[in-house]
Structure 1
Amino acid sequence: MFAQWQSSLILMAYVIIFLTGLPANLLALRAFLGRVRQPQPAPVHILLLSLTLADLLLLLLLPFRIIETASNFHWYLPEIVCALTGFGFYSSIYCSTWLLAGISIERYLGVAFPVQYKLSRRPLYGVIAALVAWIMSFGHCTVVIVVQYLNSTQRVRNPNDITCYENFTQDQLDVVLPVRLELCLVLFLIPMAVTIFCYWRFVWIMLTQPHVGAQRRRRAVGLAVVTLLNFLVCFGPYNVSHLVGFYRKESPPWRVVTVVFSSLNASLDPVLFYFSSSVVRRAFGQGLQVLRRQGSSLLRRRGKETAEVTHADRGVSQTEGTPSSDFTTD
C-alpha cells in the first residue's frame, strides 16, 4: 500500500513539474534566443540560454519517467531507450550545476570589477563556459550507458517486464558507486562551493553600495536565494544518496524520491531567470497579458476591464526599464 502511494505521489510530482516547467522554459528560450542574436551578447545570456536548454532536455525526457512511474517502476520500452533517456536525463541535471556556478561567477565579476568586466567580456567566454559544462556532464554520465550494457536492467516477471537502472548486481555496483561519488564531488560540491562564495560576495556588494536601488537589491537577494534553493533542495538529496550509497555499498532504495527533487530544478529555474534577466521578465509579463486578454475574451468582459488591462500593460512596460540584465555598477 505504501509503495502504491509513493508511486502515485511521484507520478503527480512529475506531471506538475512537466506542466509548469515546459511552458515557462519555452518562454525563457524565446527570450534568450532573441537576446543572444543581438550584437555582442553578454556571456551571462549564453549561460542562461544553455541552462534553459538543459532544463528543456530534462522536461522532454520526463514523459518516459512518467510512463515508468505509472507502470510501478517497470520498464516496458526497449532497453536502448532506457539507456539513452537515463543518459540525457542525468546529464541535464549535472550540466545545470556548473552552468549555475558559471552564472554566479559572471554576476560576481560584474559587480566586483564592473569596469574591467565590461571592457573584457566577450560572447566567446560564455560559449566556452557552456561547452565545458555540457562536456563535463555528458562525459561523466556515460556511466549510464556503460552500466546499461552491463545488463543493469533486471528481469522482473517476464522478458517484457524489466526495471531501468535499478536492482544492480554486485559487479554493476562496483562500477556505479565510485562514479556516483565522483559525480557528487566534481559536479555538485565544487560548483556549489563556487556558487555560494560568488553569491555571498555579490549580495554583500549590492547591499553595501548606497547608489544601488532597492529594486536591484531585492532582485540580487532573490537570485541568490533561488540559486541556493536549487542546490540544497533540488540537487542536495540526490547527491546525498550518492554518498550514502558509496558508504553502504548499495544503491539506496529511497534514491527514486531524490530524483524527483532533482527534476524540480526544471520548474525552479524559470524563477531564477525572472530575477536574472529583464528580457525574461518582459516575456513572462507578455505571456500573462496574453492569458489575461484571452480570459477576458472568453468571459466577454469589456468596457472597464478592457481599460484596466490596457493600463496594466503600460505599467509593466514602464517598470522593466532597459533591456540589460547585468547587475553591474557602471
Structure 2
Amino acid sequence: MALRPRSLGLLSIYIISFLFGLPANLLALRAFVGRVHKPNPAPIHILLLSLTLADLLLLLLLPFKMVEAAYDFHWPLGDTLCALTGYGFYSGIYCSTWLLAGISIERYRSVAFPVQYKLSRRPVYGVIAALVSWIMSFGHCTIVIIVEYLPTNKTGDAEGLLVCYDKFTQEQLDVVLPVRLELCLVLFFIPMVVTIFCYWRFVRIMLSQPHVETRKRWRAVGLVVMTLFNFLVCFGPYNVSHVVGYFQKSSESWRACAVLLSALNACIDPLIFYFSSSAVRKAFDEKLQKLRSWGASLLGFCRRRAREPAAERGHGSLGRAHVSFTRD
C-alpha cells in the first residue's frame, strides 16, 4: 500500500518522538525513583514520577500508532488491540494535563508560602494527587472502549478496510461528541487555567526577589515556557478538535495531525523534568558527559585508523628500498 505524504510525515515524526522520548523518559524515571525512595520525598517528585510513567505509557503505545500510519491510517491489528491502544494512549495524554497542573500548584506554593509549604510537604499529598489524575483520565477515556464495542460500530471505510476509532455512525457520534467536549473542559481547559495562574504568580515572585540567582530565574522561565508549550501547542489543537467537532456534529479529519502533536508532549516533558529537578539535571549532565567522552574516543580512534594506512605505506617503501639495496 503506497503511503500518502501525510501518512509518511506522521510516521516519521512518530519514529523520531519514540527514539528521542523513550531514552529521555527512562533516564528521568531512574532519577525520580531514586528521589522517591529517599525518606519523606516531596510531593512534587511523586507527581513528576507519575508524569514520567504517563509519558512512558504513551511512548510504549507509539509503535502501534506507527503501524496505523504505515498502513495509511487503516488498522490491521484487530478490534481488541484497537480499543486497548486507544484507551491507553488517550488516557496517557489526559493524565499529563492534571499532573502538570499539580506540579504548577506545588511550585507556586513553594515560593508564595515557603514556611507553610515546608510544614505541610507530605508524600501522601503527592500520592493522592497522582491517583486522582490517573483515575480521572482513565475513567473518562473508557469512552474509547465503549464506542468501539457499540452494536452500531462500523469499523470499515468505503473500501471495506478496517479503521480504528474513526468513521463513526450517527449513533456513535451522539455518544462520542458530548464526551469529547467534557474531556476538553475537565481534562484540558480547567488544568490549563490552573497552570497559567500558578506559573504567572510563580514567575512574578521569582523575578521580584533580588536574592534569587540568575540561573534559578532562567530555570523558572524555562519551566513555564515548556509547560505552556505543552498545553498550547501539544494539547491545544487536539482539544480544539473536540469543540469544533461538537458544534459541527462530526469527527474532524485533521484530528490525526492533532493527535500527533499530543504525542510530542512525551518529548517536551523531559525538558520540564530538567528545569524542575536537580536529580534529573545531574543525571542528564552525567549522561551528556559520557556521550561527549564516547564521541571524543570514537573521533580519536577514527583519526588513528586514518593515519595507519599512510604509515603502512611508508614502512612498505622503506622495506622495498632495503631489499633492493641488499640485492645490489
Q: Any residues of structure 2 matched to 1:93-104 within 5 Å, and which?
A: 93-104=93-104
Q: CA deviation at 1:290?
A: 1.8
Render the CA deviation track for 1:183-234: whole Å, top value 9, x for unaligned.
0000000000000000000000000011111111111111111100100000
Q: CA deviation at 1:294?
A: 2.0
Confirm whether residue 45 of structure 1 aligns to residue 45 of structure 2: yes
Q: Which sections of structure 1, spanning at least 5 residues, go unmatched?
A: 303-330
Following the alignment from structure 1 to structure 2, what is the Cα–Cα distance between the partners of residues 166 and 125? 39
Confirm whether residue 246 of structure 1 aligns to residue 246 of structure 2: yes
Contact 1:75 1:163 in 2 (8 A): yes
Confirm whether residue 155 of structure 1 aligns to residue 156 of structure 2: yes
Q: What is the total number of aligned residue pairs between the two structures?
A: 300
Following the alignment from structure 1 to structure 2, what is the Cα–Cα distance between the partners of residues 72 and 153? 18
Q: Any residues of structure 2 matched to 1:298-309 within 5 Å, and which?
A: 298-300=298-300
Following the alignment from structure 1 to structure 2, what is the Cα–Cα distance between the partners of residues 3 and 243? 30
Contact 1:152 1:165 in 2 (8 A): no
Quote the residue 1:319 is aligned against: none
Q: Any residues of structure 2 matched to 1:1-330 within 5 Å, and which?
A: 4-150=4-150, 152-156=153-157, 161-300=161-300
Q: CA deviation at 1:291?
A: 1.5
Contact 1:238 1:255 in 2 (8 A): yes
Q: When the two structures are superposed, what TM-score results if normalisation uses the length of structure 2?
A: 0.89
Following the alignment from structure 1 to structure 2, what is the Cα–Cα distance between the partners of residues 192 and 179? 19
Following the alignment from structure 1 to structure 2, what is the Cα–Cα distance between the partners of residues 171 and 208? 55
Following the alignment from structure 1 to structure 2, what is the Cα–Cα distance between the partners of residues 61 and 289? 31
Secondary structure of the structure 2 residue equivalent to 1:41? coil
Contact 1:154 1:166 in 2 (8 A): yes
Q: CA deviation at 1:289?
A: 1.7
Following the alignment from structure 1 to structure 2, what is the Cα–Cα distance between the partners of residues 25 and 246? 34
Q: CA deviation at 1:155?
A: 2.2
Query: For residue 155 of structure 2, what is the amino acid of its counterpart?
Result: Q
Following the alignment from structure 2 to structure 1, what is the Cα–Cα distance between the partners of residues 299 and 211? 46
Question: What is the root-mean-square deviation of aligned Cα atoms in Å?
Answer: 1.6
Q: CA deviation at 1:47?
A: 0.2
Following the alignment from structure 1 to structure 2, what is the Cα–Cα distance between the partners of residues 144 and 125? 30
Secondary structure of the structure 1 residue equivalent to 2:4? helix
Query: For residue 162 of structure 1, what is the amino acid of its counterpart?
Result: L
Contact 2:87 2:144 in 1 (8 A): yes
Q: Percent identity?
A: 69
Following the alignment from structure 2 to structure 1, what is the Cα–Cα distance between the partners of residues 153 and 276? 41
Contact 2:25 2:52 in 1 (8 A): yes
Query: For residue 49 of structure 1, what is the amino acid of its counterpart?
Result: L
Following the alignment from structure 1 to structure 2, what is the Cα–Cα distance between the partners of residues 106 and 291? 33
Q: When the two structures are superposed, what TM-score results if normalisation uses the length of structure 1?
A: 0.88
Q: CA deviation at 1:297?
A: 2.7
Secondary structure of the structure 2 residue equivalent to 1:299? helix
Q: Which sections of structure 2, spanning at least 5 residues, go unmatched?
A: 303-328
Runs of 4+ in 1 over 6 A off after TM superposition: none
Render the CA deviation track for 1:53-112: whole Å, top value 9, x for unaligned.
000000000000000000011111121000001000000000000000000000000000
Following the alignment from structure 2 to structure 1, what is the Cα–Cα distance between the partners of residues 75 and 186? 30
Q: 1:153 to 1:38 in 2, by over 3 A?
A: farther
Q: CA deviation at 1:3?
A: 7.8
Contact 1:25 1:270 in 2 (8 A): yes
Query: For residue 295 of structure 2, what is the amino acid of its counterpart?
Result: G
Query: For residue 259 of structure 2, what is the amino acid of its counterpart?
Result: V
Q: 1:71 to 1:3 in 2, by over 3 A?
A: closer
Secondary structure of the structure 1 residue equivalent to 2:168? coil
Following the alignment from structure 2 to structure 1, what is the Cα–Cα distance between the partners of residues 297 and 117? 48
Contact 2:75 2:164 in 1 (8 A): yes
Following the alignment from structure 1 to structure 2, what is the Cα–Cα distance between the partners of residues 146 and 87? 10
Secondary structure of the structure 2 residue equivalent to 1:59? helix
Contact 1:152 1:166 in 2 (8 A): no
Render the CA deviation track for 1:100-143: whole Å, top value 9, x for unaligned.
00000000000000011001110000000000000000000000
